[in-house]
Structure 1
Amino acid sequence: MFNPYAQGGWRNAGNPSSTPSRGTLPQPSIFGALPYPTLPAGAPPAAASTFISFRFSSFSPTILDSVVTGPKSRTYFRVKTDSPTVGFTAIHNSASQPVIIIEWLKHPVIEIRDILSKRQTSQWLPISADRSHRTMTANGKTFVWASEGQYICLQLFSAGVGAPQPHARVLREETAIVLEITAEAVQIGLLELCIAATLLLHSRRNID
């Protein structure tokens, strides 16, 4: 049974080997590796008719304590850090069940209920040698998160000619982080994975 705090070998992040979840934060591992500009105020967004949008907003004070809304402004997820356990970030679904757990150790650990067994974030989202992209394995396939214009896009890894269409893309706005994901990607089980990746890539914490 998925229990982020009492089972599965989770350690108390208050121990000496843990990284404090507040105060001085490590340098973010993603910035500089996958840079993209913030959308200018008043600029029209890129066409997204084939995408479903999920917005991380209501930061308190960062994305690590936020609300994720989807179609019709419905709340789909809530992100809570250090509550009830210090050193953990939990993403709860609309039924208030924790579905994604991150423990902020020196090398952070993530688990996604029924989808991803507990492992280091650096193993789940390894960065390339040239720091140009990160890979993500899901459903036995390899995907790539890479910068493309104003977005960080998730695409199926392909050695063929021509760039595949993105399954998801993330845009940083002034007061929100927007995840746009295709209906197909949701149907094949990528939503929780993309929610978790979006949070990690914008956590401003070292995930390597």
Structure 2
Amino acid sequence: MVNPYAVWNTTQSNEMAPHRGSSQPVPSIYGALPFPSQLADNPPLMVFTFTGFNPTIANCTILGPNGSPQFGVVTEPALPGYTILKSMNGKSVALIEWREPAKVEIRGLAPKQPVSSFLKVSSDGRYRIMVVGSQEFMWLPDHSASISVGNSEFWGRMSRSVGAITLEMTQNAVRVGLLQACIISTVLLQSGRNID
């Protein structure tokens, strides 16, 4: 909320007046609502937890924000070269084919393609570019041992802890359909396998 009286006395040296050259609105002194820039820096995140590794992320359960199972990552012993992402109703959502070169397919989002095309390494080798439809998103390591995904805005991040991997996504990222692509990217990036 912006202080509606901040525009008054802008010619005088006043702490409540906006500073010249500043595009920041002056926060309201009324109410306990957070200042808009705080909201922009910290969008609410939906947390998805990869857990129950058997023995790796290639066989695990993904819990949703409410703690209930949302997806399963399955690598059948009879088909060790394939990992399937399944919804809890048993529907196959995505497929990873581990034979070299590794390939990935996400129903409705990404046709079958080499992982090196879906998660291509940047020219300087510092990050990966996830291609979904005609859009590109960067998976960029940050200073806190997590990897953030975004383009012109922040979409989410993955991080590893003891016994679990966490994928945090903005509500907007889930709404526009990036969840499955980010789940598959997490499996690929945390698998420990050669994906290039």
Is 2:172 the partner of 1:178? no
Residue identity over aligned pairs, in percent, reads: 34
Residues 82-121 of structure 1 show CA distances to partners (whole Å, capped at 9, x for unaligned) of: 3552310011001111111011111101111121110000
Distance 1:83 1:199 in 2: 18
Q: Which residue of 2 aligns with 1:63?
A: 57
Q: Which residue of 2 aligns with 1:206?
A: 194
Q: Which residue of 2 aligns with 1:4?
A: none
Is 2:140 the partner of 1:152? no
Residues 139-182 of structure 1 show CA distances to partners (whole Å, capped at 9, x for unaligned) of: 422111101122200011x5xxxxx4x20100111110000000
Q: Is the 8 A contact 2:84 2:93 kept in 1?
A: yes
Aligned pair partner of 1:78 in 69, 72, 81? 72
Matches of residues 127-138 of structure 1 in structure 2 within 5 Å?
A: 127-138=121-132
Aligned pair partner of 1:142 in 130, 136, 140? 136
Structure 2 unmatched ranges of 5 or more: 1-40
Amino acid at match of 1:155: G
Q: Which residue of 2 aligns with 1:116?
A: 110
How many residue pairs get matched? 155
Mark the CA change 1:111 to 1:139 in structure 2 (over 3 Å): closer, same or farther: closer
Matches of residues 81-120 of structure 1 in structure 2 within 5 Å?
A: 81-120=75-114
TM superposition score normalised by structure 2: 0.75
RMSD across aligned positions (CA): 1.6
Distance 1:191 1:84 in 2: 28
Distance 1:53 1:116 in 2: 23
The residue matched to 1:153 in structure 2 has which SS?
A: strand
Distance 1:139 1:106 in 2: 24
Mark the CA change 1:56 to 1:48 in structure 2 (over 3 Å): closer, same or farther: farther
Amino acid at match of 1:62: T
**Larger CA deviation: 122-131 vs 198-207:** 122-131
Matches of residues 21-40 of structure 1 in structure 2 within 5 Å?
A: none
Distance 2:51 2:128 in 1: 24
Larger Rg: 2
Of structures 1 and 2, the one scoring higher in RCO (CA 8 A, sep 6+) is 1
Runs of 4+ deviating beyond 3 Å: none
Distance 1:138 1:122 in 2: 13
Q: Is the 8 A contact 2:43 2:170 kept in 1?
A: no
Q: Which residue of 2 aligns with 1:14?
A: none
Distance 1:75 1:186 in 2: 16
Mark the CA change 1:175 to 1:86 in structure 2 (over 3 Å): closer, same or farther: closer
The residue matched to 1:195 in structure 2 has which SS?
A: helix
Q: Is the 8 A contact 2:129 2:137 kept in 1?
A: yes
Q: Is the 8 A contact 2:148 2:158 kept in 1?
A: yes
TM-aligned CA deviation for residue 129 of structure 1: 2.8
